[in-house]
Structure 1
Amino acid sequence: MGAWKLSLGAWLLVLLSLTQAGRNFRLFRQYILQHREEQAIKEASLHLGLLAQSPASGLWNPPIESTIRQPLDHFNRQDQLTFNQRFWINEEYWQHPSGPVFLYIGGESALSMWDVLSGHHVELAQKYGALLVALEHRFYGASLNPDGLQDQNLMFLSSQQALSDLVSFHLFITQKYNLMSNNTWICFGGSYPGSLSAWFRLKFPHLVFAAVSSSAPVRAQLDFRGYNKVVADSLLNPVVGGSKECRDAVAEAFSIVDSLIHAGHLEKLAKDFHSCGALKGTSDLFEMVSNLADIFMGAVQYNDEGVQWGSVASLCRIMTNQTGSPYQRLMVTNKVFLISMMQQCLENSHEEVLRELRSTNLSVSGVGERQWFFQTCTEFGYYQTCEDSTCLFSHLISLPSELDICAEVFNVSRDRVQEAVAFTNEYYGADCPKASRVLFVNGDIDPWHALSVLRNQSRSELALLINGTAHCANMMPSRPTDPLPLIQARKWISAQVGEWLELAQKITGDH
């Protein structure tokens, strides 16, 4: 168990990603991570315990961890620069030699062996006798060179390069296990890797037979106002503990915050919300209101993750408590958050944010904040603004404030960000990618579903929207306490995977 805990300390599932919010959101994700780690330890303990009780099962073979040497630039074969990309293989369930291959795609955070040991894709591998492989995304985790985060190297960080990495990895696995055409490949991914999963099938249909794409924002968008619209709808939704009273109280609280800002009462705001330092100008105010909004955005995006204080229902109980004004209840919400995160104060310094994003220090675990922000500036946008009149939060959360960071950190102008977003949609097809054998899975509580495929595009490009579930909920391991819509959705996904495998066998048999 000691070795497992050491490994889990470096574990951050890709499901915890995809946000352009502030520091509070990062703290929220780390808390969710800790909860998921504890669940993974319990599951691993149970799994190994069952193996020990079954002499016929033999000894447990832990996943294989290794690296593959990849070109730094797949599109310039005269460039000899390379890097080591990390991967894992779980052979435990594979029905050798003809069983399928399930590819778990990494994204903007480190992977670990737990990505081939835990999750619904692992349950599907066990059911269908699949070889499980997982590839960490370039420039995240340990899959980058020591100087990888320098500005001059980030030009090699893109979704196009990442898809080419998957092509090389496909060839590597095929050669390593002497795979044939009857070894059907199906890829899985959630959040940004959910987009990669769909795009891998779209761009390389001869390599991967089908794809499950969960919570995938396949439509790049510069001004992602729809994110906070879904947050508002979710705070209103009684299915997850929301109500009109809750939504209205949140809106009123932030309206009072904006009024105090306009009146110049910055010292009061700093004191009321436990700011680590004085609020110096508009940039610090932007960080403060973003941090406060993060609490609600995080609760919606990761609702029902088993964190009692961090759910829509728990926050709405505070915000609808008749003790004090909505502004005072927002103060209580922030204090509960800080105590839960073991933080003594709220860090609102914009200069500190810039310092962190400019840092080129490497970390082999966690979310790559600098790298991911670079990708939003050069490919996706996804800036979660609040300039729309229907937004519950502060209108200081604006597009110019987000785009200024692209210029300040990476010298990427606003026009170039807009051009990059337009190119991404043209290159992949946005939310009408015209692929085949792709299943798009989303939860209607998840704000990211607004940028995904929500309706069937054809007989083989399918969409599944799950009532009352949040970001990548379907990818988590099955639990007895899962809501009925989620249980039914997983059955539907499993049946679809089974249909694909049957179809693949028929096609290869015909040939």
Structure 2
Amino acid sequence: MGPGAVAWLLALLALAEAGRNFRLLRQRVLQQREVRAMKEALAGRWLPRPAPWRAPIEGTLRQPLDHFDRQEGRSFPQRFWVNEEHWHRPAGPVFLFVGGESALSPFAVLSGHHMELAQKYGALALALEHRFYGASINPDGLQDDSLRFLSSQQALADLAAFHLYITERYSLRENSTWVCFGGSYPGSLAAWLRLKFPHLVFAAVASSAPVRAQLDFTGYNQVVAASLSDPVVGGSALCHEAVAGAFAAVDQRLAAGRLDELEKDFRSCGPLAEAGDREELAGNLADIFMGAVQYNDEGFAGGTVAKLCRIMTDAGLGSPYQRLLAVNNGFLESMALPCLENSRQHALTELRSTNLSLSGVGERQWYFQTCTEFGYYQTCEDPTCPFSRLLTLADQLDFCSQLFGVAPQRVEGAVNFTNEYYGADHPRASRLLFVNGNIDPWHALSVLRNQSRSELAILINGTSHCANMNPSRPSDPLPLVRARQRIDDHVGQWLRWARTEPSAA
């Protein structure tokens, strides 16, 4: 392994250590996944080899800002990676890793279950960063006027243009077999790419893909509540009851105006004095439990359902409210945060910032996409929700109005169009495999049952968001091991079909 790869890994490790803001929990999870994946991918590279290791190739493709209006004329740089190490050229398949709402890095073509499959099947491995995330953006890309070019439809057109570019650059055969992989929003893109461009992509694996857009995503916290009660991951009915009781106590104090007490108890960075600050506090506390369910030990130390439930059911700590204080203190300490930032104005200032960041999650961009395409707002107005009743749809939609001038009715219309355009959770595609974990709250918006003989689904008991995409490990639970084997079986079958029926649609 060359010194450049070592330097890159060390830089990535530094990035992982730098995460301090509560609102960057999701970014920290992604960074930690990259660190772990890169360590595993590079572990064998330190040993002497008969031939030098070929690092992934990083490149940039100029893409039109608007694929649907060639009069526009402007373009932006889109970053990609290519790994030829396992490729059985020229007839080997092409595996495309689809980027999403965060920056990509070389690990996308070095590690993960898709790369284990690439090695097994001799595939050329590609990864394309999503427009307007990471380095794939112009300097003015976060301005309101530029964000109008950010959409899933434009992203799919980017992937089609990338297909043409790679085909020409590597002199691929016209009938080369492309299989795409993606997880979370990129999982939806992988499914939609197969749906909208079946002549380009032979098959797709869509992991944790919320293909059904939804304005009021009440199902998210319904799954969280069920997971807090699920003994498979260390939950229990007693834990769920304690969490609900703790948040009811928080709501009672908020309603009674006992703000000084809450500021002190939950180590607020400032007073809960401005409009929206109470909702920020309620959301921050709920995020600890949501993050534990969605990522299950990836976001912060102690961030598993089992560990949080041990605290929430420990009567020795006092009332459920006092146990919630212990959970919050543990979270702040594990994230090295001095206090909990509950200022709504602080949150809006961050989301209004147009300063580019070449790493991590693009929060401003993703919020724009939720306002103009997907919704996905995780509320707590359903009676099964164990968190604060201040987590309302109206509060979430207020961000769209304040940040981008998008009125609530326009958000609803955009969500409805997205479902009409892609088919929601009945896309009616072929050679498409949906993979979900039943602990992951996002599985509620995915495809959970076979739709046909070639539009299939796998639901993995006890696993969280995109767990199947991680590299295989000896400690993996049996349901996850079996699910990966089924994914392997389907990919192998698709490749056999492609060889015997090269013209199949």
Could you say which TM-score interval applies, normalised by the shorter chain?
over 0.9
Which residue type is aligned with residue 390 of structure 2?
L
**1:378–1:420 contact (8 Å) kept in structure 2:** yes
Q: Quick one: distance in 1 between partners of 2:91 and 2:253?
A: 66
CA shift at 1:28, angstroms?
2.9
> Which one of 152, 157, 172 corresponds to residue 150 of structure 2?
157
Q: Quick one: distance in 1 between partners of 2:11 and 2:425?
A: 37
> Which one of 251, 254, 258 corresponds to residue 251 of structure 2?
258
Match of 2:46 in 1: 49
Which residue type is aligned with residue 47 of structure 1?
G
CA shift at 1:181, angstroms?
3.3
What residue ranges of structure 2 are gaps of 5+ in the alignment? Answer: none
> Which one of 291, 297, 305 corresponds to residue 290 of structure 2?
297
> Which one of 258, 272, 280 corresponds to residue 279 of structure 1?
272
CA shift at 1:30, angstroms?
4.3
Match of 1:490 in 2: 484
> Which one of 167, 171, 175 corresponds to residue 174 of structure 1?
167
What residue ranges of structure 1 are gaps of 5+ in the alignment? Answer: 17-22
Asked if residue 61 in structure 1 is aligned to residue 65 in structure 2, the reply is no
List structure 1 segments (4+ residues) > 4 angstroms apart after TM superposition. Answer: 9-12
Q: Quick one: distance in 1 between partners of 2:500 and 2:376?
A: 41
> How many equivalent pairs are there?
497
**1:288–1:348 contact (8 Å) kept in structure 2:** yes
Match of 1:440 in 2: 434
1:46-445 mapped onto 2 (5 Å cutoff): 46-50=43-47, 52=48, 54-55=49-50, 58-305=51-298, 308-323=301-316, 324-445=318-439
- The change in CA–CA distance for 1:11 and 1:91 in structure 2 (over 3 A counts) is farther
> Which one of 474, 481, 499 corresponds to residue 480 of structure 1?
474
3-state DSSP of counterpart to 2:436: strand
CA distances 1:296-340 after superposition (whole Å, capped 9, x unpaired): 000000015496501101100110111200000000000000000
3-state DSSP of counterpart to 1:309: coil
Match of 1:32 in 2: 29
TM-score, normalising length from structure 2? 0.96
> Which one of 464, 467, 471 corresponds to residue 458 of structure 2?
464
Q: Quick one: distance in 2 between partners of 1:365 and 1:99?
A: 32
Which residue type is aligned with residue 346 of structure 2?
E
Match of 1:19 in 2: none
Q: Quick one: distance in 1 between partners of 2:375 and 2:299?
A: 30
3-state DSSP of counterpart to 2:462: coil
3-state DSSP of counterpart to 2:206: strand
Q: Quick one: distance in 1 between partners of 2:24 and 2:148?
A: 28
**1:240–1:468 contact (8 Å) kept in structure 2:** yes
- The change in CA–CA distance for 1:438 and 1:510 in structure 2 (over 3 A counts) is closer
3-state DSSP of counterpart to 2:339: coil
3-state DSSP of counterpart to 2:480: helix
CA distances 1:166-218 after superposition (whole Å, capped 9, x unpaired): 00000000001111134200000000000000000000000000000000000
3-state DSSP of counterpart to 1:330: helix
**1:182–1:505 contact (8 Å) kept in structure 2:** no
Which residue type is aligned with residue 279 of structure 2?
F
Which residue type is aligned with residue 290 of structure 1?
G
CA RMSD of aligned residues (A): 1.7
TM-score, normalising length from structure 1? 0.95
CA shift at 1:79, angstroms?
1.3
Percent identity over the alignment?
67
Q: Quick one: distance in 2 between partners of 1:426 and 1:5?
A: 43
Q: Quick one: distance in 2 between partners of 1:64 and 1:47?
A: 19
Which residue type is aligned with residue 3 of structure 1?
A
Q: Quick one: distance in 1 between partners of 2:407 and 2:311?
A: 41
CA shift at 1:40, angstroms?
3.0
Q: Quick one: distance in 2 between partners of 1:322 and 1:464?
A: 39
**2:38–2:110 contact (8 Å) kept in structure 1:** no
**Structure 1 stretch displaced more, 347-356 or 303-312:** 303-312
CA shift at 1:42, angstroms?
2.9
**1:220–1:421 contact (8 Å) kept in structure 2:** yes
- The change in CA–CA distance for 1:307 and 1:368 in structure 2 (over 3 A counts) is closer
3-state DSSP of counterpart to 1:463: strand
CA shift at 1:508, angstroms?
1.9
